[in-house]
Structure 1
Amino acid sequence: MKKKIAAGIVVSLLITTSVNVFATDTTKYKNQINENNSKLNELTEEKKEIQDRKSEINSELKKVIEEINALSNEVSLLNNNISNKEAGIAQKVLDIQAMESRIIELEEDIKVQNEEIRGQEEELAIQEGILSDRVRAAYKFNSFGSIIFTLLESTSIVDFTERLMFIEKMAAKDREVMDIIDGIILDLEERRTELEVSKQESEAVKVKLDTEKTELENEKAALENEKAAVTNKLSEQKTLEDQKRSLIANMTQEEQELASSIGDIMDENAALEAEIQKVIREAEERARREEEAKKKEEANNSSSGSVVSSSGYVRPTSGRISSPYGYRIHPIYGVRRMHTGVDYAAPSGTPVVSIKSGTVILRKYNSSYGNYIIVDHGGGVSSLYAHLSGFAISYGQSVKQGQTIGYVGSTGASTGPHLHFEIRINGQHTNPANYVR
């Protein structure tokens, strides 16, 4: 009898020690989990902010591209206008050069005509001088009386004839001088008329040349304004292109930060999973030792060592199975991944119950599972309930089979209200359909 009492005391001490150690370890992990939860919440919020900013950048980038396209069209129109104006200016330059050449020709013609006129005026002066001298001489000596007197003094018919012929030659000479004078006067009038026409044409060409030069200067100024407009437009385009590159660079950097944050979350999740498995293994080992101690105590107190086991597992919640255990295309990440449990589609707030009696060894949040619970049922068996909208139990609490432990939700990486349910054997996931229908 004393040996049985002593054995009971030893078992009680082992159980008490095991519980104390479990409580110490779980408190430490709980603090670490709470700290990690805060970090994960921050990363989740940061991820949302980056996604919102990325959406804004995409909108800004689309606007920049539209503005660049509009500017490109404006630049094309300006370039066409400049090409047309340059062609017009080139033609005006040719016209001005032709006018300048014509002015030079006219000035040369005017110079030659002036020289010819001066020569004819000098010849006219000479002929007029000759005629004037003869007129004065005839007046002085009474030319008509002298002619008669000369003829009367003739000594013979021959002499008379010779005298008469001489007189006729003198008269013909006078007529010739007068004809020359008349011709010179007529030619001078024609040349003076031509000179006046040349001068008028020269003046008209000069006026037109001045007009063309003024128009050319105006068109050149307009062309400079057009070119300045093109330069400004191109500068705006360059600014927009720089803005576009800056936006793309910022987007790339934020995407890298997002990828880094996601990687950090995944690393953190992996570390937490390792901690979870470690806690499960430790809890299972403690449960195993406690079970052995109980069996040993019962063997000492009874001739029969059998232990009555539970009648099995109950369904964790109502609703249909929307996604079974096994490989699938992840509904959020779009990649083929192992689905480590089954999903029950149910309205948000639907009660979730423990499939079997056990101890709550985890009650926490992460970005993948959202709010989730792990219950250790002993014998290496544990169950996981994820994406909960809320909890109905506390960490370290003992729960009974069928007891409500939480409520269906859509927290974490979820596309809608449902329960993600897992059964783990010695820390490794297995198909829940083998245990729960």
Structure 2
Amino acid sequence: MYQSPARSATERHILNQIQATTRLVLICLFLQLPFAVYLLLASTPLALFNLSVHCAALGVTYWLCVRQLWRPARDLLLTGFLTFITWATLIWPAGLAIPYFLLLGSVTCGFFFRNSERLPQRVWAVTFASVFVALRIRHIETSHGLYHIVTISNTVLLAVASLLILHCLQTHTSRRWQSMASRQQALQAQLSALLPPFLTTRGNTCEPGQSRPMDSCVVLFADLTGFRQLTDQLGDEGVFALLHTLYRRFDERALHAGIRRIKTNGDEYMAAISPELTGLPEEQTTTLTRQMLSFARGLLHDCEYVAANTDIPVNIRIGVAAGPVRAGVIGNQRSSFDIWGRTVNLASMLEQLCEPNRVLLSDSAYHTLPPLPFNLKRRAVFLPNGPARAWQFTAAAIDALGNCRHNAA
């Protein structure tokens, strides 16, 4: 029956184990070649036949490894090793203690099977141990008395010990794999928290220095006003406590809203939303813009709440723009995820031009919204590529937009 090549990491690992063991056995046979020639000259032609057939079997095993056919290679290696030691014991002098090599096979065969193949692995291990006991008893049947009993008991004890060693090795290896799997899951969870889903799924990894386009993205920049005065008033420790309080609330709100925080820079908070960042099915830009405006309304509310409970004048400016961006991982040391493009630059400029406690929305993002039953303040803004216009939302206007959406639904 056709055997598919090794594909998974476990199968490739087993294949490497089989290939390395085959090389090792071939090297051992080569190093003992002078001794083997001497025994061949002094023994029957069966010894030469045994050595020739099993050397050819090792060659076929290595060829199967090259073809990545790990199952037939494993079966041929184990069968060849068992039959070679058995025939060598029956043909060559008993004093060579050749059967003890079967104990080596009993222990090492456990490394050629997957976790789901425990039954055939145990069958092979017990077979090696049983054949060892049978061959040893055959060569000690000439002894008598206590020596005979001690020899048989030692033989059985060695066979059982080899099986116990294999069991202990497998148990220890299984525990280590479970521990590594747990740590891998924890690291994957941390990575997922740092990177968006489309960069952490298999086949979509992004190396540092690489970037990918996102055609539909809504970007938000938020910045505290009068930050220098706050620093002079509160000091470094006080400002840190204030920013930590605000950003913790911002992050919790972003998590529930399906919005990803990109980064912070002092008192500047940057966030974005797109189908690629959230891992959700493709959404219309209208839905994304509304989600971001609702998030911006939440930021205004958080600043009002912190200001009311700390007696610190916390005011915030927010700029929002929609359009294509590029996303990727930048830097080799402490690499971080970031987004770039004209949409990002526009959101940053709108934040700088915005009035305190207001949200300034780009014209392109505004036109993704349905017609609004109320008037907004339209502002002329001057961008590097020329004059443009933007739309200013107050908290009340965003609430009214939410009510419109609810009534339409």
> TM-score when scaled to structure 1?
0.25
Question: Which structure would you say has the larger RCO, counting Cα contacts within 8 Å and 6 or more residues apart?
Answer: 1
> TM-score when scaled to structure 2?
0.27
